[in-house]
Amino acid sequence: MSLRARILALGVGSAAAMLLLLAVPVTLTVQRNVQQDEEQWAASVAQGVADLVSTGRGDRDDLVAVVERIDARDGGRVTVDAGDGAPVGSARPDCSVDSDARFGPLADAGTPPGRRDDDARSSDGDSYGPPNARVGRVYGAEVASVDGGRLVRVVAEQRGRDVAVCSFVPSSVVGRETLEQVGVLGLAGLVTLAAVAGLAVVVGRRLAGHLTAAAATAERLADGDLEARAPQDGPREVRSVSAALNRLAGRIDELLVAERETVADLSHRLRTPVTAVRLDVEALPESPQKRELEDHLDHLERTLTAVIQAARRPQREGAVPRTDVVAVVQDRFAYWAPLLEDQRRDAVLELPDGAAGREVRLADADLAAALDALLENAVAHTAEGVPVAVTVSSVGTGTVVEVRDQGPGVPPTALRRGTSDRGSSGLGLDIARSCAEASGGRLELDRDGPWSLVRLVLGAP
């Protein structure tokens, strides 16, 4: 899982956990408030009808009209039971003065805010008996749990007898209103989750961006780009990582410079004893052994010169060297062509179509040195007139350069550094092998019919 995904999961998960923890108490609180509001509203309706009953004004038809108007709006919630077996409104067995239901006092049974107690009014707007016009008494509201909900009862005294006025609060109504209010809160919770997710995405993107930049710098350093530096921005911890990475890059650069200077210095210091040896050799009488020693000294001096030049080259021609392999092969083949022609050799250069501009991960001088070493071996270890060929081909993302000759071939043991069975130092193949491996490739020895070949498999930049 990526860092961005982890930050997003952490933020959204934490917010979701908090909302879930709050969901239960909030839902219970909302349900309790809705229950109280509905019971208070039911108490106010029952109180209004009870006031009508207690005044003694109007007949049964008037009472029936008021109850029917209330039931038409609220769905049959009001019941008036005078104990004569003919209740008005919806018949509820629990609505009576002598009901077996366990009624308890209803606290704060007034009219809820925003709702008017106008259900006990006549169609012409006149009140059915204000409190100071009552003939009988009206007792406080009581509430009891019954099947399907809660029943609010108000007992009114009419002409010496008690009349029970009940208003029913269905559980379904409480549940529906609770669900509506909790739904609004749930929507607010979803908006909160979306905001947290957006914030987590922004934070994760910024943090991951800084870390990605530092990782990209590390990749460039691993590829040899010692000029790469990480931007020092973002959180303090990320800035510390970038600063340490930059210090490491600087230190690597210093060590490489010191190493190149040391190699160059040692090579220069070797010139003095080599010069002394040359003077001693020149003092010897002419003989085949003297000429062989002079050839060895010439080769040694060329090797020292190449080492010094390689050490002096700034970061080996770039941190991630690259060269056009076709251009270098054509240049070195043209350099050796006069000697090959002078020795009456059939020299062939084979380049595939579209190979121009193909790059390999080597410096120009390194690839040139490898080709020179292989062509020199082909010339030195075969008789005059033996054909020599150089071919370039593509294999996947890499490039293959082959130097062929129809000589006796090169034994596999020759790949060991400094090994030779032909009187040379054995460094030629080792130089070619080192160049191939430096590009991410390899050197191979093979045989193709009469042709003995040395194959350089070179990697792409």
Give the range among 94-108, 121-135, 143-157, 327-341 with minimum mean pLDDT.
Answer: 121-135
Q: What's the pLDDT at 134?
A: 42
pLDDT at 358 over 50: yes
Q: What's the pLDDT at 382?
A: 87
SS3 label, residue 229: coil
Q: What's the pLDDT at 113?
A: 37
Question: Which whole number is the average pLDDT over 47-52?
Answer: 85
Q: Tokens in use for 265? A: 């210095």
pLDDT confidence of 227, banded at 50, 70, 90?
A: confident
pLDDT at 315 over 70: no
Query: Exposed, middle or buried, 441 (CB in 10 Å: 0-12/13-18/19+)?
Result: buried
Please report how many Cα atoms fall inside a 13 Å half-sphere around the Cα of residue 450, on the Cβ side: 5
pLDDT at 121 over 80: no
Q: What's the pLDDT at 221?
A: 81
pLDDT at 347 over 50: yes
- Average pLDDT value over all residues in the chain: 79
Amino acid at 285: P
Give pLDDT tens digits for 237-252. 888 888 898 898 888 8
Packing angle of the helix pair 171-222, 3-55 (nearest 10 deg): 170
pLDDT at 68 over 80: yes
> Cβ–Cβ contacts within 10 Å for residue 264, how many?
16
What is the spatial distance between Cα 41 and Cα 45, in angstroms, rounded to a whole number?
6
What is the spatial distance between Cα 175 and Cα 125, in angstroms, rounded to a whole number?
34
Q: What's the pLDDT at 412?
A: 63
Question: Which whole number is the average pLDDT over 119-142?
Answer: 49
Whether 315 contacts 256, CB under 8 Å: yes
pLDDT confidence of 272, banded at 50, 70, 90?
A: confident
Q: What's the pLDDT at 118?
A: 43
Query: Phi and psi dihedrals of 384, rounded to 5?
Result: -60, 145
Give start and end residues of each alpha helix (H) in 99-235: 171-222
Q: Tokens in use for 52? A: 């009508």
What is the spatial distance between Cα 461 and Cα 32, in angstroms, rounded to a whole number?
73
Question: Which whole number is the average pLDDT over 63-92?
Answer: 80
Q: What's the pLDDT at 179?
A: 92
Query: Phi and psi dihedrals of 162, rounded to 5?
Result: -90, 135
Whether 88 contacts 62, CB under 8 Å: no
Q: What's the pLDDT at 414?
A: 61
Q: What's the pLDDT at 48?
A: 85
Q: How many helices (H) and strands (E) does the chain have?
A: 8, 13
Whether 53 contacts 40, CB under 8 Å: no
**Whether the predicted model's global pTM rises above the 0.75 cut:** no
Q: What's the pLDDT at 420?
A: 45
